Amino acid sequence: MPTTDLANAAIWYAEDGYSPTTHGINGRRVAGASFLQGFLRHADADRFYAIVQNETSGQAFKQTAADHAPNTPVELINRANTQRLGAAGVVSFPSPNFATELWRRYPLGDARYSLCGITHTTATKAVMNGMFELCTAPLQPWDGLICTSRAVHASMQHQMSLIDDYARARFGKAPPRPQMPVIPLGIDCAAFAPSQAARHTLRANLGLGPNDVLVLTLSRLAPYGKFDPFPLFLALQDAQQQLGAGQRLHYMTCGIYLDDHSREVFETGAANLMPDVGYHHLDGSDATLRHQALSGADIFAFPIDNVQETFGLAPIEAMAAGLPVIVSDWDGMRDTVAPDVGIAVPSRALSARHSYGEGVAHAFDSLAYHKYTNTLSALTELDLGALVQAILALARNPDLRQKMGAAGQARARSLYDWAAVIPQMQRFWAELNARRAKARANPAARIAHRAQSHGVFRRLSHPDLTRRRGRLRGSGRGRQAAPTV
């Protein structure tokens, strides 16, 4: 294997994880599409490997590669071609639960290649069940799970500790754990550079004066399961009353209403709770409008208190656009928003024992996920007084807004641009390869893996099965088309 391949990874490619335009916009797909483009542009690799299901997905990957790295060759590997899955040493999987891929590897020997997943939201029942599946599959210490924030890392460690407790009590031994570094999500900072022309267009369309202050939120507009806007509405109204008639606050949501009920919550809530503040909405599916919003706003607000928000890409995008940010002191934002780029509003939550009943109800399907997350949000308090003061501090001080915005751009470029994040991932993949190589060099481990693989393949090549396959071939029945990739 070439030296550069030691820090490479084969991308386990499925359009559902990388194509928000064809499969619907959500945080996971937006992050996946951004990662793939960033990887193609910034990876130190002589060749790109993609594990695909069919010719259609293979051609989609090749087109993306041609758009972002036209001079680097691409090798497509069909999922059924198990002998080639380890071509790059590491397989990069676009979700935290790669248990199925561990079982796919198992007949080949656990040390054949490494697998590496990445976290997104960790609060759903599917993900939590998936962690049990992952830990009870043939996971090895040369496999990895990238945690995108310290909060995610802590929650994964806690859940795996509970799984260990069960395994010791049930089987007398805890299973291996994956390597779990904290590596943030990234963005292409250049794509969010603000435009004075776009700023002028937006503010003219909204009829904003030179002293008007526009507060922006980029988000999926779902009051349940994502973003409850009412605390922010209350804080904006309070801040407007303290500012007086000399300065007008406006609030804009840029996103997609989840449904008619969500639209009514946002628009009726804005009219009733902040009557003195202008309310505006832009379609978040339109890239031109998103760019106008980020260019034309003065402050970015993201006061999230929902457990599904583990990292928060939107504040990073706002920082790259040169906006000061106001966020809740919550999960990933504790890592990303430093005091020089924005203001973190304190959040307080009741302990887990207060939501035990809701957790049990959700676990056994008597409480839907959005109602479960809403309940947890109701048990979480944002400091409204601090939120009001944060809005006032930035609204009254354009110099502070400019200073924080410039610091945010510098922070985004140095820490969260894919040019900085992809090398961290490649160093981690190289570490996984080194761990696996060390295990393969151990004679005992080598014998164990050889015996395991031979045992499986002996079962697959049983004489009766061989004869049956021969009869099927001879009769023309039971044939499967060869993989096209």
Tell me the CATH number at 166.
Answer: 3.40.50
CA–CA separation, 126 vs 107, rounded Å? 26
Q: What is the DSSP string of 8-56?
A: --EEE--HHHH-HHHH---HHHHHHHHHHHHHHHH---SSEEEEESSHH
Question: Does residue 400 belong to any structural domain of this protein?
Answer: yes
Collapse the DSSP code of 100 into the 3-class scheme (helix H, G, I; strand E, B; otherwise coil) and give the result. Answer: helix
Within 53-96, residue ranges assigned H as helices are 55-68
Q: What is the pLDDT of residue 378?
A: 86
Q: What is the pLDDT of residue 269?
A: 97
CA–CA separation, 58 vs 72, rounded Å? 16
Pair 207, 116 in one domain: no
Pair 34, 180 in one domain: yes
Tell me the CATH number at 243.
Answer: 3.40.50.2000
CA–CA separation, 75 vs 58, rounded Å? 9
Pair 150, 194 in one domain: no
Question: In this structure, how many other beta carbons lie within 10 angstroms of the beta carbon of residue 467?
Answer: 10
Helices (H) and strands (E) in the chain, counts: 20, 14
Question: Does residue 82 belong to any structural domain of this protein?
Answer: yes
| Chain-centroid distance, C-alpha 117 | 11
Mean of the pLDDT values across residues 173-196? 96
Name which residue leads in pLDDT, 276 or 475.
276
CA–CA separation, 13 vs 478, rounded Å? 28
Pair 81, 176 in one domain: yes
Query: What is the per-residue burial (b if ≥16 Cβ within 10 Å, else e) of 379-408?
Result: bbebbeebbbbbbbbbbeeeeebeebbebb
Q: What is the pLDDT of residue 400?
A: 98
Question: Does residue 143 belong to any structural domain of this protein?
Answer: yes
Asked if 407 and 341 count as a contact pair (C-beta separation under 8 A), the reply is: yes
Of 34, 299, 311, 21, give the one whose Cα is nearest residue 189.
34
Q: What is the pLDDT of residue 462?
A: 39
Pair 110, 210 in one domain: no
Question: Does residue 207 belong to any structural domain of this protein?
Answer: yes
Question: Does residue 469 belong to any structural domain of this protein?
Answer: no
In which band, very low, low, confident or very high, does the pLDDT at 455 lie, cut at 50, 70 and 90?
very low
Please write the tens of the pLDDT for every residue from 363-379: 999 999 888 988 888 88
* Percent of the chain predicted with pLDDT > 70: 88
Structure tokens at 209: 């004066």
Per-residue pLDDT for 482 more than 60? no
Q: Which of 359, 382, 416 is the last residue of a domain?
A: 416
CA–CA separation, 121 vs 312, rounded Å? 10
Residue 259 is part of which domain span? 189-416
Please write the tens of the pLDDT for every residue from 74-132: 999 999 999 999 999 999 999 999 999 999 999 999 999 999 999 988 888 999 999 99
Pair 227, 166 in one domain: no
Pair 175, 203 in one domain: no
The mean pLDDT of the chain is 88
Question: Does residue 457 belong to any structural domain of this protein?
Answer: no
Pair 409, 431 in one domain: no
DSSP classification of residue 412: I
Please write the tens of the pLDDT for every residue from 281-321: 999 989 999 999 999 999 999 999 988 889 999 999 999 99
| Chain-centroid distance, C-alpha 146 | 10
Pair 170, 221 in one domain: no
Q: What is the DSSP string of 170-235?
A: HHSSPPP--B--B----B-GGGG---HHHHHHHHHHHT--TT-EEEEEES-B-TTTT---HHHHHH
CA–CA separation, 64 vs 48, rounded Å? 11
Pair 245, 292 in one domain: yes
Please write the tens of the pLDDT for every residue from 469-479: 343 333 343 33
Question: Does residue 337 belong to any structural domain of this protein?
Answer: yes
Per-residue pLDDT for 179 more than 70? yes
Q: What is the pLDDT of residue 103?
A: 97
In which band, very low, low, confident or very high, does the pLDDT at 24 lie, cut at 50, 70 and 90?
low
Q: What is the pLDDT of residue 21?
A: 62
Per-residue pLDDT for 458 more than 60? no
Per-residue pLDDT for 392 more than 70? yes
Mean of the pLDDT values across residues 325-344? 96
Please write the tens of the pLDDT for every residue from 340-350: 999 999 999 88
Pair 263, 405 in one domain: yes
Contacts of 43 (CB under 8 A, 6+ apart): 8, 422, 426
| Structural domain count, the chain | 2
Pair 137, 201 in one domain: no
Say what the pTM is. 0.88
Q: What is the pLDDT of residue 402?
A: 98
In which band, very low, low, confident or very high, does the pLDDT at 248 lie, cut at 50, 70 and 90?
very high
Question: Does residue 34 belong to any structural domain of this protein?
Answer: yes
CA–CA separation, 453 vs 436, rounded Å? 17
